[in-house]
Amino acid sequence: MNVNTIAGNNAYNFASKLKPSEEGSNGGGFSSMLSNAASGAIDTLKRSEAVSFEAVAGKASLSEVVTAVNSADIALKSVVAIRDRVINAYQDIIKMPI
């Protein structure tokens, strides 16, 4: 399997977790989506670290490490991109005349 294919699959899986909940106005919304995305990213980073430690102990293969680290990289880049968009939107709102 090609690393680009793995990266694409991991990006798709991470993006699919960013969908807002279909509960309507009861418990979903933008803040819930961001909270779920952040916790998913943290879980991905923790899993990557755990797989790296397993590889050092000889319990994980190189392909598992590459896949986990690639997933963590995509998750971190996604979180940074979302953060940048939120900051830009906030700055645009602040610049609006009252």
Per the domain annotation, does 83 fall within a domain? Answer: yes
Q: For residue 86, is pLDDT > 60? A: yes
- Its domain, for residue 10, covers 3-14+26-95
Residues in CB range of 3: below 8 A, 6 or more apart: 66, 70
Number of compact structural domains in the chain? 1
pLDDT tens, 13-48?
666 666 554 554 455 787 888 888 888 889 999 999
Per the domain annotation, does 52 fall within a domain? Answer: yes
Per the domain annotation, does 21 fall within a domain? Answer: no
Per the domain annotation, does 88 fall within a domain? Answer: yes
Counting Cβ atoms within 10 Å, is residue 69 exposed (0-12), middle (13-18) or buried (19+)?
middle
Q: For residue 97, is pLDDT > 60? A: yes
What DSSP letter does each residue of 41-87 carry, written as one string? HHHHHHHHHHHHHHHHTT-S-HHHHHHHHHHHHHHHHHHHHHHHHHH
